[in-house]
Amino acid sequence: MKPRAVIVAMLAALACAAASQAQADDAIRARQDFVLNCMGCHTADGSGIPGKVPALRESLGHFVSLPEGRTFVMRVPGAANSALNDAELANVLNWLLATMNEQSRPASFRPYTAEEIAAHRRPALTDVARTRTKLVKELQENGVNAVPEHY
């Protein structure tokens, strides 16, 4: 390898390492934000509380497959009204999709961005149950029965 090629290869490796470090930092921050802002209700592993709080596991992945479902996830009161800023909420939702929704997340899923969250999180939904029932029905019409109507 010519010296210049070696330098280019080293720079590429460094850029890669920096990018994966940034991803690791995002994941650590997301976990902390989840623990402080969501876990109290949704439980540590996101399985929720029967009869009271829905699970966040392998359901968000299905919701985000529908345009209205993607918005629903940002606008449920627990997310929309949380103390998290737009970038932090985007990071937590992306982390939930990456760690608790690997099976259900569509291959075409584009990560949430702070800009998207800012544009859509408010006003928080007031008719959560009605919106959710409509989405679950739409999923069922698409052959997806994995998201329970009642939790």
* Range in contact with ligand HEC (rule: CB under 6 A) among 16-24, 73-81, 100-108, 112-120: 73-81
DSSP labels, 76-95: SHHHHTSS--HHHHHHHHHH
Q: Does 77 bind ligand HEC (CB under 6 A)?
A: yes
16 class by beta-carbon count within 10 Å (0-12 exposed, 13-18 middle, 19+ buried): exposed
| Amino acid code (one letter) for 70 | R
- Among residues 47 and 78, whose Cβ is nearest to ligand HEC? 78
For the beta carbon of residue 40, count every other beta carbon within 10 angstroms. Answer: 11
DSSP state of 121: S
SS3 state at 19: helix
Among 87, 98, 118, 128, binds ligand HEC (CB under 6 A): 128
CB 62 within 8 Å of CB 139:
yes
User: Which of 30, 60, 64, 117: binder of ligand HEC (CB under 6 A)?
Assistant: 60
Q: Smallest distance from the beta carbon of 146 to ligand HEC, in angstroms?
A: 11
Token pair 């966040």 is at which residue?
Answer: 56
Q: Binding ligand HEC by CB under 6 A: which of 46, 71, 75, 79?
A: 79
Candidate residues 27, 29, 31, 78; the one interacting with ligand HEC per rule CB under 6 A: 78
Rounded Cα gap, residues 63 and 74, in angstroms: 11
Site string for ligand HEC, 18-47 (x = CB under 6 A): -------------------xx-xxx-----
**Shortest reach from residue 14's CB to ligand HEC, in Å:** 34
Q: How far apart are CA 112 and CA 92, in angstroms?
A: 9
Given the rule CB under 6 A, which residues bind ligand HEC? Answer: 37-38, 40-42, 53-54, 56, 59-60, 73, 76-79, 82, 84, 92, 128, 132
